Structure 1
Amino acid sequence: MGRTLRLTGLVVGDEPSAWAEMGLPVVGDHLTVGGVTVRLVGADGPRGILGWELDPRIDHAVDGLAPATAGDRQQDPDATATGRGYAVVALDHLVVATPDVERTSAAIIALGIEPRRTIDAARGDEGFRYRFWKLGTSLLELIGPIAPAGDGPAVFAGLAFTVPDLRVFAGVTGAPQAAVQPGREIATVRTAELDISVPVAFLTPRPPRGEAAREDDQPVRAGR
């Protein structure tokens, strides 16, 4: 039986005020949802998702996916996030893009965790592979071409949050659409307008267990 790893934190190069404007429950320089703390370190330096924190801790880069540094890590992960009052349930998906799915998969599997599911699908004229791992309350969604397309590193490529009602985010998202996962809806945040450097999508909750047994392991297509 494989090891259990939990995603407990992310570091993002954005201003906290931008994420509060998006409607997420920011407190100070961070937000905590579903046991995952996102630390917002400002927009003056590198942008995007800068690192992740896993439990048990991984202190090395995983095929280019950097760990959060000691200076980046949120020091109060149990803080209660209230923000603008929107009841964000969880960080549903962390999306990672790679030019070589099998290479990046091998690096993740070397951590001791086995993938849950692999899906091959067409995007335009190209074939893409999606592979999923469970990281506590979140899913890691790895996406890349079926045939390797270079030797560049894997990169953090997007986030999807579970929210109970997409209508409260109507001012910052596009129109809700049916998600790939049956019984769910998805709306993509207009991140460029808010100066947010991470593609973000909001998803309605998963159907009760048994109604859609494994449909949570489906591409979210956040920001793509």
Structure 2
Amino acid sequence: MTISVDEFAVADPAEAWTRAGFTVDADGVCRVGGVRIRLGRDTGTGIVGWSLRGVPGALSDVDGIPTTRSDAAVAQHAEHANGVTAIDHVVLMSPNLPRTVQSLAGVGAQPRRERDAELGGRPIRQIFFRFGEVIVEVVGSPDALGDGPSTLWGLTYVVADIDATAAFFGELTSPVKDAVQPGRRITTLRHHDFGMSVRTAMISARR
């Protein structure tokens, strides 16, 4: 069975996300593409866990990330005023890339490709997995072998019209620029200004 993301659990109030142009249901769920983002957790900050389809039943975490198994049907996308149409990718920050890759292999996930780059002048390695419609971008130092848990660090969304989305947010987003992916453009949201704790970017659709 193919692994896919059913739900991300996020420790943000629903009101913060509605201020950022997301539609949130009465039960605190924001439906983006076929994925649910469940808001309103009382503890922690950012993305505090996820629910996955197609993984073993006896599962409590993936490399330290709280994880539950789901058999729920795929969510039905909601319309969002900010122009979001889907989740492009989630960034998973790893202190120990070999360990993280091994942990993901333990639930049946295999890397699709990897890329070496720099972040703040330091070398990083990006390893990409496909979980249904969501790309999981594992990021870490190629030489680090830390002991701490991995974390779900941020979300990048596909938008219908990147210039319209940037206009919607105005000064609360960075200037639109070319993305690493050829032919795509990206902008980063000043998420704290909305009361959000999840790092958030918006990217144009693939051609």
Deviates more, 1:22-31 or 1:187-196: 22-31
Deviates more, 1:179-188 or 1:33-42: 33-42
Match in the other structure for 2:39: 40
The aligned runs of 1:60-139 (5 Å cut-off) are: 60-68=60-68, 78=75, 81-84=78-81, 86-139=82-135
**2:41 corresponds to 1:9:** no
Match in the other structure for 1:218: none
Deviation for aligned residue 1:173: 1.5
**Hey, what's the Cα distance between the residues in 1 that align with 2:126 and 2:89?**
12
Deviation for aligned residue 1:181: 0.4
Deviation for aligned residue 1:78: 4.0
Q: TM-score under structure 1 normalisation? A: 0.81
Change (3 A) 1:41 1:179: same
SS of equivalent to 1:112: coil
Q: Quick one: percent identity of the two aligned structures?
A: 34
**Hey, what's the Cα distance between the residues in 2 that align with 1:68 and 1:20?**
26
Deviation for aligned residue 1:170: 2.9
Kept after mapping to 2: 8 A contact 1:10/1:68: no
Match in the other structure for 2:190: 190
Kept after mapping to 1: 8 A contact 2:34/2:77: no
Deviation for aligned residue 1:149: 4.7
Change (3 A) 1:82 1:90: closer
Determine which structure has the larger helix proportion and give its number. Answer: 2
**Hey, what's the Cα distance between the residues in 2 that align with 1:49 and 1:139?**
16
Deviation for aligned residue 1:34: 1.6
Match in the other structure for 2:49: 51
Kept after mapping to 2: 8 A contact 1:27/1:82: no
Determine which structure has the larger strand proportion and give its number. Answer: 2
**Structure 2, unpaired ranges of 5+:** none
Q: TM-score under structure 2 normalisation? A: 0.87
**Structure 1, unpaired ranges of 5+:** 208-224
**Hey, what's the Cα distance between the residues in 1 that align with 2:80 and 2:68?**
24
**Hey, what's the Cα distance between the residues in 1 that align with 2:66 and 2:92?**
12
SS of equivalent to 1:24: coil
Kept after mapping to 2: 8 A contact 1:62/1:108: yes
Kept after mapping to 1: 8 A contact 2:123/2:141: yes
Map Cα deviations across residues 151-203 of structure 1 (whole Å, 9 max, x no partner): 11101100001001122333332211110001111111101111111100001
Deviation for aligned residue 1:136: 0.5
Deviates more, 1:111-120 or 1:166-175: 166-175
Could you tell me which of 131, 140, 153 is aligned with 2:149?
Answer: 153
Aligned residue pairs, count: 199
SS of equivalent to 2:153: strand
SS of equivalent to 1:107: helix
Deviation for aligned residue 1:126: 1.9
